[in-house]
Structure 1
Amino acid sequence: MADIIQLLPDSVANQIAAGEVIQRPASVVKELVENSIDAKATSITINIKDAGRTLIQIIDDGTGMSETDARLSFERHSTSKIRKAEDLFSITTMGFRGEALASIAAVASVDLKTRLANNDLGTHIIVEGSVVLSQEPASCSPGTIFTVKNLFYNIPARRKFLKSNTTEFGHILSEFERIALANPTVEFKLYHNESQLFSLPRTNERQRIVAIFGKKINQNLVAIEAETSIINVKGFIGKPENARKKSGEQFFFINNRFMRNPYLHKAIVNAYKNILQPDSVPSYFLFLEAAPDSIDVNIHPTKTEIKFEDQQAVWQIIHATVKQSLGKNNIVPSIDFDMEQGFEIPVLTKNTEIKKPFVEINPFFNPFDEKPGPAKNQNKSISSLEKENTANWEKLYDGFENEKNLTDDLSSTSQIESQQKLRESNFSGKYYQFKNKYILTPVKSGLMVIDQKKAHERILFEKFMFSLESNTGISQRTLFPKSIELAPKEHSILMEIIDQIKMLGFDISDSGNYCVTVNGLPADSSDQEPEQIIDKFLNEYLNTEIDIKTRAKEKIAQALAKAAAISSSQALTNEEMSELVDMLFACSMPNFSPFGKKIISILKTEEIEKRFS
């Protein structure tokens, strides 16, 4: 049999390696800007076109490279950061593997201009698909300019699977935020399609956070700091009343490197225990410092997963520091939530009479006797008992919430009947609200339980989708125009989709300086303030995972429906519950929310009767 194993050409090997390092335009931005940081740059300009598909340009005033280094930088595993394996345990630079430039050059056209400060001329190199097309001396400023064009031009499948420009640029903004937060002493400028989005001067950590996330966040920041022999912790945490049901303002940095660490995230969330709204996430910006040999950054190609030598000790330090800072700022009660709350024991004096403990019992109670003895209800009339029973009807369901296997899910094949049949399933017309969250109504087969928030989300979603498709959104004018200041990232995203949200009924315009003016809101956006509905909508939109191009309208409708829906704790009148149920069963898909969550469950009569048999 002939030999069939052969070495791959460098260009093919580089394309394969690029798949791990360069996943999308944001990966290119991350790698090139981190190179600028390692080159001691004090000013970095980032130019983006078409969310990085057409152009990514990074300009810095760093040390620059010699002609030999410039050419060698495009070879795989060529680096100035390490010399031997032991150096991996004392890394202080962002990069060290020597793979980034080779990977970028394998899947794009790269133009490099670089010059050392003490040289009169620099070097100009053009590489395309791992092939060096030209190399010549050039006149340029000290530092380095990388221009990357037509990303994934030679890998159509990879280019095809890029998301929409809004989504891809959102990832670029996320990478920009992380690098800018980790390096407040570096000046940053970011342009997209020739429009300046950020101009961040050199400053401190707090001012950099405010510059990126807007002035509103400044009042929400609580400083924390701790120095230990294992790790130093400093930074800021958010006040619990400002915690929101979103991610995006949670940042860990270790030795100026952004990292993801769900384990340490739990240390912070646990410190907020009992003072956060359900499902809310506190903001935090923590800058950790540890000896380089006590952490391992070489466990993932993106270098964002960091392993600590003593992770449990780090967890305890962060948890204690956050909890102490919350207590110092009178944000949490002084009691320790980890301990059970004790009984109130009065102070005893010498003359205090000590009473013997006793238990009050009802001597007439017999659990097997259907006729009650002279208990507390003995003297009550039947009519008064019926009234009390009606008033306390919800108490009958106190035990249901912790019971399992009581619900009979509505599947799309066996139990979801036609809308008309389901609506006519002997509804009693009586509605009860349980914990201001669920609507209960008797039906032919038992007791129907409806999640009121998810039901309202479905109703609004279908209305908004109709408005987007037909451009018939109705706007409800505000009493006065409302000016709202947004974070630069939020403003950029809103401007990308402003035409679509106007179709929904938003009367909104850009007023400059990351501000918008709201003159009207969608008629179905409930009674929320303009700032509140815009804030909720952007939070939901930025955190909605569905981002396929053909479903862009659906993503907008989903986000607005979730933002505008009634809350899970809102009390409803019987008329409001009846109207909500009627509108739900007029929807095309009344059984599931826009996010695929179940809206309706039925407690079958047989299941209820079993509980009392």
Structure 2
Amino acid sequence: MPIRILAPQVANQIAAGEVVERPASVIKELIENSLDAGASDIRVEVREGGRRLMRVQDDGCGIPAAETRLAFQRHATSKIVSADDLTRLTTLGFRGEALASIASVAQVTLLTRALDEEIGTLVRMSEGHEVARESKGSPPGAVVTVEHLFGNVPARLKFLKRVATEAGHIQQIVTRYALAYPERRFSLVSDGKLIFQSTGSGKLYDVIVKVYGLEMARQMLEVGKLVDWESGKLVDWENGNLVGANQSTNLPSPNLPIPNLPIYRTIRVTGYTAAPTLHRSNRGYINLFINRRWFQDTSVAYAVIQAYHTMLPVGRSPVALIFIEMPPEDVDVNVHPTKAEVRFRDNHAVFSAVQRAVRAALTAQAPLPESGLGRGAQATPAGPTWGGLPESTATPFGGPSWAARREALLGAGRGGGQMPMTAAPDAASMQTPPEGEPGTAAHPAPPDFRPQMIPILRVVGQLGATYIVAEGPDGLYLIDQHAAHERILYEQMLADHARDRIVIQSLLEPLVLDLSPEQAAVVAGEIETLNELGVAIEAFGGASYLVRAVPAILSGADPQSALIEIIDGLADNSDVVESAHEARLVITICKRAAIKGGHPLSMAEMQELVRGLEGCQAPTTCPHGRPTMVHMSAAELARQFGRTYT
């Protein structure tokens, strides 16, 4: 096939693919243009998750009428002049590709008026070509309207996700910029409803309250330190001056959102990080900003996590908003098509600066708790234990949470292999949704396949309060108690869901969940599924939701933390195809409800758990695919001991 030069329209669509991935990409580019234009009030409006319409309006400097044609030309920009400018960028945009890329895959209308002009200019673009132009009255600033995104690229259109998913990504973009620019006022309207609005007060904490809710904001600790690159030491403030750095220079107050940084080789790390009691199941709540630009970097995120060393449960991540300020020549932001990744001149210095600053905030404002082995405390031997524990020591957790788990385990396997849902609560609090009400729609039965058989096992004991040691006719079995219980609960919940028999437990008092706009968008898109699976949840105004009941298998857990984890799990799987969404939600619920590793079990509890696992159709793996057990045959044991097995 001969080499040919592509037609301009084809080349523009290919280039647009690097910049415009989804509706949120359009919103990102337009917001960055507004911020670079000095706007103090930015309003975002979307319809149908951006598929039908997106509009960004600002009160910035606007575009002069004579330059509106250039604005839609590729590589036309007012932000840089030479290649040297790329090493000292002070603007969010610099490539001159945004409007050209958007106009090549959508219908775009620009209404703008420069500050020194008396009348505005309206330009309409379609498939990269100007189709209309006229003078029109408008306030200073710009309004960019984007309609029918990917209308001329059906192959790209079919890859867009559900409306709720795309709307959630847009909310994420808007809230990130609101956090980075607390002195600017942002608002987001989706399908005619105000979803988010910041005050523009200049106080980062005010935006945190708007984004994450007051309850979470109260658990955030302020980070505000400078780290000198050469000494590696934290630098403090005193009367507006740096103390302990290689040089002292008057700087703005550290309480300002993001000051300029005139001191070379000094990194400033500011923001907020959560107290160790507030943590999440993934790193999605760690937001990183470099010179007020959001970016993603596994190394820097790990630096935040490392600052919490020994403070967080295994597998948990903190909530953090970390702002890094450094000279622009020490960071390259031109290494990724969407500018989501950056390259630092000295990665180690940035890692160290973030880790030290976050750790300093934690130790200064959230001292480590005492070990609990002081006066009056009784130490217990550490390390794994073998054998069935006596009843007096098998359940040392006196609270209702452990009691509920214990009852759930004791109920395992009863009724011809039926797995337990939970402890048996009072009859007055138990409900099974009647037919015809929400959450009781008919569902196809799960596929009937041949069970993976495991032999009848005899429980020998427990190892490390995490693994059940069992003997079978063909050797030794080590069973992961958490993975096994997950499998039992998962199959039981799917079976009950297929029969419309999900058992729920009403809460004594309705629970109000104050969610972030992103979380609220997730719940809004999944509220029907949540109700079907036993979470009786309803809108309660703004980003708040009222929960009246939960699945009975969660009766032993803290409902608020369990539901937050479930919602976060839904957000993580927002791009999963709809047919798999329900199963993912069931998996998340069962993971939260299952007995955890590290909990001692009595002999009776272990026996019932094993009986429940024997009744499962896929007993060898948990719903996530991890093995529930490890088998060592009698022959393998004999070989390990150098014996001849016959």
TMscore range, shorter length: 0.7 to 0.9
Structure 2 CA distance, aligned partners of 1:246 and 1:528?
A: 20
Matches within 5 A, 1:330-341: 330-332=366-368
Matches within 5 A, 1:181-580: 181-203=179-201, 204-227=203-226, 228=228, 229-332=265-368, 422-423=453-454, 425-428=455-458, 430=459, 432-466=461-495, 468-469=497-498, 471-544=500-573, 547-580=576-609
1:68 Cα deviation after fit: 2.6
**Where has structure 1 moved over 4 Å in runs of 4 or more?**
388-393, 418-421, 466-471
Residue identity in the other structure for 2:553: D
1:446 Cα deviation after fit: 1.4
Identity %: 33
Deviations 1:368-394 (A, max 9, x none): xxxxxxxxxxxxxxxxxxxx985699x
1:431/1:578 contact within 8 Å kept: no
Q: Secondary structure of the residue that 1:316 maps to in structure 2?
A: helix
Structure 1 CA distance, aligned partners of 2:23 and 2:45?
A: 12
Q: Quick one: structure 1 residues 609 and 244, their matched pair in 2 at CA, closer, same or farther if it must change by over 3 Å?
A: farther
1:225 Cα deviation after fit: 1.8
Q: Quick one: structure 1 residues 557 and 389, their matched pair in 2 at CA, closer, same or farther if it must change by over 3 Å?
A: closer
1:138 Cα deviation after fit: 1.5
Tell me the TM-score normalized by structure 1. 0.82
Residue identity in the other structure for 1:597: R
Q: Quick one: structure 1 residues 37 and 103, their matched pair in 2 at CA, closer, same or farther if it must change by over 3 Å?
A: same
Asked whether 1:79 is paired with 2:77, we answer yes
Q: Quick one: structure 1 residues 82 and 17, their matched pair in 2 at CA, closer, same or farther if it must change by over 3 Å?
A: same
Asked whether 1:593 is paired with 2:622, we answer yes
Q: Secondary structure of the residue that 1:497 maps to in structure 2?
A: helix
Residue identity in the other structure for 1:323: R
1:419 Cα deviation after fit: 6.3
Tell me whether 468-477 or 76-85 shows the greater mean CA deviation.
468-477
1:226/1:233 contact within 8 Å kept: yes
Tell me the TM-score normalized by structure 2. 0.78
1:215 Cα deviation after fit: 0.8
Q: Calculate the aligned-residue CA RMSD, in Å.
A: 2.5
1:41/1:62 contact within 8 Å kept: yes
Equivalent residue, structure 1, for 2:99: 101
Asked whether 1:139 is paired with 2:175, we answer no
2:165/2:522 contact within 8 Å kept: no
1:66/1:116 contact within 8 Å kept: yes
1:133 Cα deviation after fit: 1.4
Deviations 1:210-229 (A, max 9, x none): 21011122232222222344
Asked whether 1:173 is paired with 2:159, we answer no
Q: Quick one: structure 1 residues 327 and 523, their matched pair in 2 at CA, closer, same or farther if it must change by over 3 Å?
A: closer
1:545 Cα deviation after fit: 6.6
Tell me whether 466-475 or 35-44 shows the greater mean CA deviation.
466-475
Structure 2 CA distance, aligned partners of 1:506 and 1:432?
A: 36
Q: Quick one: structure 1 residues 129 and 464, their matched pair in 2 at CA, closer, same or farther if it must change by over 3 Å?
A: farther
1:449/1:602 contact within 8 Å kept: yes
Structure 1 CA distance, aligned partners of 2:369 and 2:560?
A: 30
2:105/2:127 contact within 8 Å kept: yes
Equivalent residue, structure 2, for 1:607: 636
2:16/2:105 contact within 8 Å kept: yes
Q: Quick one: structure 1 residues 333 and 569, their matched pair in 2 at CA, closer, same or farther if it must change by over 3 Å?
A: closer
Structure 2 CA distance, aligned partners of 1:11 and 1:333?
A: 63
Q: Secondary structure of the residue that 1:153 maps to in structure 2?
A: coil
Q: Quick one: structure 1 residues 390 and 31, their matched pair in 2 at CA, closer, same or farther if it must change by over 3 Å?
A: closer
Structure 1 CA distance, aligned partners of 2:326 and 2:96?
A: 24
1:173/1:489 contact within 8 Å kept: yes
Q: Secondary structure of the residue that 2:554 maps to in structure 1?
A: coil
* Bigger Rg, structure 1 or 2: 1
Structure 2 CA distance, aligned partners of 1:536 and 1:42?
A: 35
1:232 Cα deviation after fit: 1.4
Deviations 1:227-252 (A, max 9, x none): 34421121122222222222222111
Deviations 1:428-460 (A, max 9, x none): 2x2533223223321122122222222233333
Q: Quick one: structure 1 residues 599 and 391, their matched pair in 2 at CA, closer, same or farther if it must change by over 3 Å?
A: closer
1:437/1:570 contact within 8 Å kept: yes
Deviations 1:485-528 (A, max 9, x none): 22222222112211111111222222213222222111222412
Q: Secondary structure of the residue that 1:95 maps to in structure 2?
A: coil
Q: Quick one: structure 1 residues 305 and 30, their matched pair in 2 at CA, closer, same or farther if it must change by over 3 Å?
A: same
Asked whether 1:26 is paired with 2:57, we answer no
Residue identity in the other structure for 2:311: I
Structure 1 CA distance, aligned partners of 2:567 and 2:451?
A: 36
1:603 Cα deviation after fit: 2.1
2:388/2:602 contact within 8 Å kept: no
Q: Quick one: structure 1 residues 156 and 584, their matched pair in 2 at CA, closer, same or farther if it must change by over 3 Å?
A: farther
Deviations 1:125-160 (A, max 9, x none): 111111211111122222111111111112112111
Q: Quick one: structure 1 residues 211 and 120, their matched pair in 2 at CA, closer, same or farther if it must change by over 3 Å?
A: same
1:540/1:563 contact within 8 Å kept: no
2:466/2:599 contact within 8 Å kept: yes
Q: Which runs of 5+ in 1 are unaligned?
A: 336-387, 394-417
Structure 2 CA distance, aligned partners of 1:28 and 1:517?
A: 33
| Number of equivalent positions | 533
Q: Quick one: structure 1 residues 112 and 330, their matched pair in 2 at CA, closer, same or farther if it must change by over 3 Å?
A: closer
Q: Quick one: structure 1 residues 99 and 561, their matched pair in 2 at CA, closer, same or farther if it must change by over 3 Å?
A: same
Q: Secondary structure of the residue that 1:581 maps to in structure 2?
A: helix
Residue identity in the other structure for 2:480: D
Q: Secondary structure of the residue that 2:576 maps to in structure 1?
A: coil
Q: Secondary structure of the residue that 1:274 maps to in structure 2?
A: coil
Deviations 1:541-581 (A, max 9, x none): 22237611332222322332223333233333334333333
1:610 Cα deviation after fit: 3.4
Tell me whether 319-328 or 187-196 shows the greater mean CA deviation.
319-328
Q: Quick one: structure 1 residues 532 and 268, their matched pair in 2 at CA, closer, same or farther if it must change by over 3 Å?
A: closer
Structure 2 CA distance, aligned partners of 1:215 and 1:392?
A: 44
1:467/1:504 contact within 8 Å kept: no
Q: Secondary structure of the residue that 1:196 maps to in structure 2?
A: strand
Tell me whether 576-585 or 76-85 shows the greater mean CA deviation.
576-585
Structure 2 CA distance, aligned partners of 1:26 and 1:421?
A: 45
Q: Secondary structure of the residue that 2:549 maps to in structure 1?
A: strand
Q: Which runs of 5+ in 2 are unaligned?
A: 229-264, 372-384, 391-448
2:389/2:603 contact within 8 Å kept: no
Deviations 1:104-131 (A, max 9, x none): 1111111111112332221111111112
